[in-house]
Amino acid sequence: MRKTALAASGFALLLALTACGSESTPTTTNTAAQQADTKPASSLFNDAQELVRAASARADEAKSAKFTMQMDIMGMQMSGSGEGSFEGTNSQMSMTMQMMGQNIEMRMVDAAIYMKMPAGQSPGGKPWVKMDLNSAQAGEMKGMLEQSQQSDPRKILEVIQKAGKITKADTVQLDGQEVSHYAIDLDMKKAGGLGGMTEADLAELPEGTIVPTEIWLNRDQLPVQITMDMGEAIKKIAEKQGEQVPAGTNIGGKMTMKYSDWGAPVNVEIPPADQVGEMPR
């Protein structure tokens, strides 16, 4: 069960903290942006692909946002906050995470990742470690990097576009503003499984494993909140792998992302050179 929980948390982290330097984004066009302009705020999408095209076009235009994240899977709690710009190789990010009682600060700027580890855990005695994203070492650690980089909501939209189906759409109030709210069934098999899973694990993923997902868009069709509930999926995968789920176990599995200040400037500073060591090989 622990292995399954770790895989699930890896998938959540991949979605929540996926690399903003990636050039891969959902398919968008100028037409999608124009349709978002003309679509009344009270008019709701009934097709996940149409929703993703409009929201992604808006995110492409805004290029930056602030975000917060909370996740709890099998008692493993993680939260974080930060800001980032989503501009391919020119992307920047700063984020602070609280995980298992420890704080980790991360910055991505100029094609490098800087991580400030908890006191006493940084190699070389320097508070920051650096990894060049174009280095061979980064290539070897691709999986870890995918799960430890910047929060780009377009990547979550990409997964919804690939494997999501809208089951409910309505207009609600969220944090003092009127938003459009969508409940979506996300098919994990079509989405490619959980972060950290091997191809063999993916082959064992039960058909029809659904992760209930919700997304809230503001009047500009920009995401302001996304939730995913992986509790039932974790249970199914554990049972498929022959792991026992004790009765009454609180699996948890919910992740919540919030976005704000779309389009605000982002300026991430490189830590002082004398405070930075190289990531150990």
Quick one: what percent of the chain has pLDDT higher than 90?
Answer: 32
Structure confidence by residue, pLDDT tens digits, 245-280: 666 667 777 889 999 999 999 989 999 999 998 776
CB burial of residue 20 (10 Å; 0-12, 13-18, 19+): buried
Query: Per-residue pLDDT for 139 more than 80?
Result: no
Q: Can you give the pLDDT at residue 4?
A: 56
Q: Is 124 left (phi over 0), alpha (psi -120 to 50) or beta?
A: left
How many CB atoms within 10 Å of residue 108? Answer: 27
Q: Can you give the pLDDT at residue 26?
A: 46
Which of 37-46, 73-82, 142-151 reaches the highest mean pLDDT? 73-82
The pTM for the full model equals: 0.79
- Region 119-133: what's the mean pLDDT? 79
Q: Can you give the pLDDT at residue 219?
A: 94
Q: What count of residues does the chain have? A: 281
Query: Per-residue pLDDT for 222 more than 60?
Result: yes
Query: Per-residue pLDDT for 110 more than 80?
Result: yes
Domain spans of the chain?
2-21+29-35+42-276
Structure confidence by residue, pLDDT tens digits, 58-85: 998 998 999 998 988 777 788 989 998 8
Q: Could you give phi then psi for residue 147, rounded to 5 degrees?
A: -100, 5
pLDDT band for position 243 (cuts 50, 70, 90): confident
- Across the chain, mean pLDDT equals 77
Whole-angstrom Cα distance, residue 143 to residue 195? 8
Query: Per-residue pLDDT for 123 more than 70?
Result: no
Query: Per-residue pLDDT for 181 more than 80?
Result: yes
| Buried-state track 54-89, b at ≥16 Cβ within 10 A, e below 16 | bbbbbbbebbbbbbbbbbbbbeeebebbbbbbbeee
Query: 131: which DSSP letter?
Result: E
The listed CATH number (2.50.20.20, 3.40.50.150, 1.10.3480.10, 3.30.70.240) that belongs to domain 2-21+29-35+42-276: 2.50.20.20
Rounded to 10°, the helix 30-38/48-62 angle is 100
Query: Per-residue pLDDT for 215 more than 90?
Result: yes
Whole-angstrom Cα distance, residue 195 to residue 146? 9
Is 259 or 23 the better-scoring residue by pLDDT?
A: 259
Q: Can you give the pLDDT at residue 254?
A: 86
Taking the C-alpha atoms of 193, 197, 279 and 19 in order, what is their torsion angle to the nearest 10 degrees? -10
Whole-angstrom Cα distance, residue 71 to residue 7? 14
Query: Per-residue pLDDT for 49 more than 90?
Result: yes
Q: Can you give the pLDDT at residue 147?
A: 42
Q: Can you give the pLDDT at residue 14?
A: 46
Q: Which residue has the tokens 């420890």?
A: 102
Residue 254, classed as helix, strand or coil, is strand
Q: Can you give the pLDDT at residue 75?
A: 72
